[in-house]
Amino acid sequence: MSAETVTIQKLGALGDGIANSPDGPIYVPFALPGETVAIARVKSHGTIMSIATASPDRQKPSCRHFGPDGVNGTCGGCTLQHLTDAPYRAFKRQLVIDALKSKGLTPDVGELVAAHPGERRRVVFAARRTEKDMLIGFNQAESHHIVAIEECPISSAAVIARLPAIKAIGAALATSAEAFRISVLETLSGLDLAVDGVKKLSDQQRRKAIETVLTLRGIARVSLNGEILVEPVKPIVEFGGINVSPPPGGFTQATKQAEDAMAELVVAHVGKAKRIADLFAGAGTFSLRLARIGRVHAVEGEDKALAALDHAARNAQGLKPVTVEKRDLFRRPLMTAELKVYDAVVFDPPRAGAEFQCKELARSSVKKFVAVSCNPLTLARDLAILVEGGYRITSVTPIDQFLWTSHVEVVATLEK
């Protein structure tokens, strides 16, 4: 380890400050462009010891777990609480511009749809039982150490208000001192907890855990390794006015505000399409909204999510027909011949993107596409395939869903 003073040139893609040195870039977490900082350095990683010249863009963090001065935070949930709003939003928008540029694409990129504190309805906590207590919190950056939290400004008030209940459930389920995960989703009927990484419970432990849950208010369901342990009331989320009961631990957008912003862009671009394919449809985030416009074919590889979508569609009023298909679109994409019946296609793949599916889409005659992505780099690759196939990008909108992190969602629209 060596000590030195460096000047930060820019923010890296993960939100670290980057300083140049004769032997390559040095990555300094919690440092901002223009700052001169004294660091303890190990290879290409620097830890701030003191700030000689602070950036005017530096602000006091919102959360005590991030660290009072924004340089020694322990909680690994946020990385950019110390950066003021305007440069923070510009940074996220630039991530999208740079990703597209790396594939030779230079469309206009809209302003970032902003996220705000208190919007996160889906939070994943790290948990572990110790000799004295039950730890519930987040992993420190690049560490397995769990920082127990008492507040979280990004999370919804309903989640934070029930931290004691979440802790009690974690304690009832912990069978050893090994760490596990508790995914918490705020639903219209209460919190939905999906616990993963706990070894099989004995019958006695299972009964005790169920009794614990039933004594707590505001808990809709608790599942363990994908199986429902107890469901006092069915958890309900709402997609465009249609109620859906998601599967245990199933994917939902992390904030309702970001989901609504994405859906508004999707629906507006699809317009009056009569036949729509929704690929990687999940439990129906877009499918159910689109079914108010035209016939929807929803394709998804996860059967429980698809069953939730199908049930919701069958029990909703005023929708056009919705058909569902279980299919692994990574191994078996919809082929060009299958696509010819659709006027519009929406796709929202996982972080890996939809490369093989986009090669088929690029050869199709579909008039309109909407691409939704949580990874600008794989989105850029997929859009480049579609552009090469004769499609034109008509809009790109970055959407902030994971406040004070380097993650950004994007909705891109295309036309033949």
What tens digit of pLDDT does each residue of 219-233 get?
999 999 999 999 999
Vertex 253, ends 250 and 94: CA angle to 5°? 140
Distance separating alpha carbons of residues 148 and 129, to the nearest angstrom: 11
According to the annotation, is 300 in a ligand binding site?
yes
* pLDDT at 404 (0 to 100): 96
Burial 341-359 (b: 16+ CB within 10 A, else e): ebbbbbbbbeeebbeebbb
Residue 149 CB coordination number (10 Å): 21
Please determine whether the domains at 2-58 and 122-237 fall in the same fold group of CATH.
Answer: yes
* pLDDT at 359 (0 to 100): 98
CATH topology of domain 2-58: OB fold (Dihydrolipoamide Acetyltransferase, E2P) (2.40.50)
Residue 52 CB coordination number (10 Å): 10
Quick one: tokens of 82? 């110390």
Q: Which CATH architecture has domain 122-237?
A: Beta Barrel (2.40)
According to the annotation, is 253 in a ligand binding site?
yes
Selected catalytic residue, list 63, 78, 358, 374: 374
* pLDDT at 72 (0 to 100): 61
Q: How far is CA 96 from CA 101, 261, 281, 404, in A?
A: 9, 17, 23, 16
155, β-bridge pairs? 120
CATH number of the domain at 91-116+255-415, please?
Answer: 3.40.50.150
Using 50 as the pLDDT threshold, list the residues of the chain that sit under it. Answer: none
* pLDDT at 69 (0 to 100): 64
According to the annotation, is 140 in a ligand binding site?
no
3-state secondary structure 308-371: HHHHHHHCCCCCCCEEEEECCCCCCCCCHHHHCCCCEEEECCCCCCCHHHHHHHHCCCCCEEEE
177: phi then psi, degrees, rounded to nearest 5: -90, 5
Residue 151 CB coordination number (10 Å): 11
Q: Is the separation of the CB atoms in 292 and 389 below 8 Å? A: no
pTM over the 0.75 mark: yes
Domain ranges of the chain: 2-58, 91-116+255-415, 122-237
DSSP string for residues in 122-137: EEEEEEEE-SS-EEEE
According to the annotation, is 94 in a ligand binding site?
no
374 is annotated as an active-site residue: yes
